[in-house]
Structure 1
Amino acid sequence: MSIAAIAGAAHARTARLGIREIVRRLNAALGATLVAATAGSKDRKISYKWAQQDGPTPNDVAVKRLQFAYTQWLVVSEAEGEHVARMWFIGANPWLDQDSPIDAIREDRFREVASAAAAMVDDGFIG
């Protein structure tokens, strides 16, 4: 399957989920502190509140970042496994000028992160 097809399928799966479910899944995969950082929040525990049915809703910018992060999580974790995907999200990344994907997502560098995820999955591909 091509990188475009993998990314498209991951995006479609993400689009079918509500933001609370996305946050729950990211919390389980990355931990609440990293999820809050990805969204751009300084409150390390806010993602626990976002995951609750009666909790606050993240703002539109945070929603966009969280949806994107979950799509990239699916792309990398399904190809490389969850442990590798977690390390990919937090580690210095050569395709992102040694920034982590979490930092790049928080800075809204979505194209760069998507290319870095594709490169990880395709062992060096840069689109």
Structure 2
Amino acid sequence: MSIPPAMIAGHGETARLDIHELVRRLNSHLGPLLVASLSGSKDSKLPYKWAKPDGPTPGPAFQKRLQLAHRLWVSLADAENEAIARAWFIGGNPFLDEDTPVTALREDRHKDVSQAMTAFLEDRQDV
């Protein structure tokens, strides 16, 4: 199994982050409404609370989605730039049946969204 170098670098950074700091960074880059959406939270204010050092800790399913979103963000922002990374998260994606990566993350289609990001970074026409 070949893992793109960008995903490996993003994994290391993500694994070392405290979940509260990770959410704070995602809030900064994507905005708390998108963070709530991709995490599957029905409470749009929860990402603000998660981002506080003494705030509540997201549950395991939320953490898994948030960590993958952060890895994807790091990979895309490093390879391209922050504006393109944000556009990728919210735009319809042909590799995801025109769903957005935010939707795919929320639906736990982790493998699909990771493959879509890799195809984007490698400028491939297939996954």
| Partners of 1:87 and 1:20 in 2: CA distance | 24
Residue type at the aligned position of 2:108: D
1:108 aligned partner = 108
Runs of 4+ in 1 over 6 A off after TM superposition: none
| Partners of 1:126 and 1:28 in 2: CA distance | 31
| Partners of 2:118 and 2:3 in 1: CA distance | 6
Length-normalised TM-score, structure 2 = 0.94
2:29 aligned partner = 29
After superposition, what is the alpha-carbon deviation per residue over 1:19-75, rounded to whole angstroms, capped at 9, x for unaligned? Answer: 111100000000000001111001111100000112111110000000000000111
Q: Name structure 2 gaps, 5 residues minimum.
A: none
Q: What root-mean-square deviation, in Å, do the aligned CA atoms of Structure 1 and Structure 2 show?
A: 1.3
Deviation, 1:77, is: 1.1
Count of residues in Structure 1 that have an aligned counterpart in Structure 2: 126
Q: Name structure 1 gaps, 5 residues minimum.
A: none
| Partners of 1:32 and 1:55 in 2: CA distance | 15
| Partners of 1:3 and 1:119 in 2: CA distance | 12
**8 Å contact from structure 2 (residues 6, 79) kept in 1:** no
| Partners of 1:80 and 1:102 in 2: CA distance | 18
Q: Establish whether residue 77 from structure 1 lines up as the match of residue 80 from structure 2.
A: no
Identity within the alignment, %? 51
After superposition, what is the alpha-carbon deviation per residue over 1:61-117, rounded to whole angstroms, capped at 9, x for unaligned? Answer: 000000000000111111111001101001100110000000000001011101111
Deviation, 1:3, is: 5.8
| 1:9–1:126 CA distance, 2 compared to 1 (3 A) | farther
Deviation, 1:126, is: 4.2
Length-normalised TM-score, structure 1 = 0.94
